[in-house]
Amino acid sequence: MAVRALVVGSLVMDLTFRVPKRPEPGEVVVATDHARYRGGKGYNQAVALARLGADVTFVGAVGADTNGDEFLEALAREGVDAGRVVQLRGTATAVAVPLVTPDGDVGFVQYQGANRQIAPAHAADLPDCDVLLLQGEISPGTSQQAGRTIARRGGLVVLNPAPIEDIGPDLLATASVVIPNEVEAAGLARRAGTDPGDDPEALAAALATDGCAVVVTLGARGAAWAADGRTGMVAPPRVDAVDATGAGDSFCAALALSLTEGNDYDAAVRFACAAGALATTRHGAEPGLPHRADVEALVAATRPGA
C-alpha cells in the first residue's frame, strides 16, 4: 500500500531569472533568460511525493487569481488531493523571484501573499496520514497545530525549517525529523547556545534530541545526519547541475518517504541525495522534481561496487 502523505505548506509562483551574478546594492544585472514556474516548498514537496509514489493530500492557500487556478489544475494533474487548498479573495497567490547563477546556485526574493493567510483553523480537520511534511513558509501556528495533531496520531512529522525566522521551539518540538540546510542548522545551533564548529556531523548531532533526528543538507557535498545517538555523512551522486531550485524539496520528500517505508537513516539519506541531485539537472523547480524509477536507477548506478 502506498505511503499516505500530508503536506501543509506553501504555493509560490516562481518568476525565474538566469543571471551572470547576483546584483550588488545599486547595481543592475542583465538576465540571460527568464521563465515562469510553479513552486513553493509545500507545492514542490507534495508533487515530489506524488511522483515518488505516495498518496498525497495538500493543505494550503492561493489567491482567487490566475496563478491560483493554475496551481489547483496542476495539483489535480499530478494526482495530489487538493480539496483542502483554499482560494482566498483579497490576497494574491504568493510570488518569488529566483536568481539562478551559471553554477546552478540560486537565491530568492519572495512575496508570501496567500501563504500567510493559512490559519490554524485550516489544519483543524486533518486526514489520517503516515507522514506529515511542514516548512517555514506559512504561519508557524498553523504548522504547529498540524504537527501536534499528526504526532498524537503516531505519524512521522518532518519539518523543513526554511526560512528559520519564524521557527520557534514549540514548532521544533512537534517534529520527528528536522531537515535544515547548513546555514539554517548553524542558525538553530546559535539559538540553542551551541557551537559545534565546521563538522557537519557534529552540527547535526548538536541539534538532534532523543525524540527528533536531524538531517543537514549540504548542497553538492551531500548531507549529514544524526539519529538515535548515531551520525553519518552521505555524498551525493555526480550529475550535471544546471539549477538547484527544488533540489532541497526533492530531498525532503524522498527522505520522508524512505523513512516512512522503514529504511534506516543511511539508506534514506542516500535515496534523498539522489532525488536532490536529479532535481538539479533541469531548469525550474517543478520540471526537475524526479520520479521514483529515476531516483532508484541513480541510487543503483552509484552504489559502491556498481
Catalytic positions, written as ranges: 249
Copy the grid coordinates of residue 142. 498553523
Q: What residue type is 176 in one-letter code?
A: S
Q: What is the largest CA-CA distance in the chain?
A: 57
In terms of Cβ atoms closer than 10 Å to its own Cβ (0-12, 13-18, 19+), residue 165 is exposed
SS3 265: helix
Distances (CA, A) of 266 to 46, 53, 215, 259: 23, 21, 10, 10
Cα 280 to Cα 246: distance, rounded to the nearest angstrom: 8
Give residues with Cβ within 8 angstroms of 5, minimum separation 6. 46, 49, 54, 55, 56, 57, 129, 130, 131, 132, 133, 256, 257, 260
Instruction: Find cell 499528526 and name the residue.
Output: 150
Strand bridging mode 55-63 / 81-88: parallel
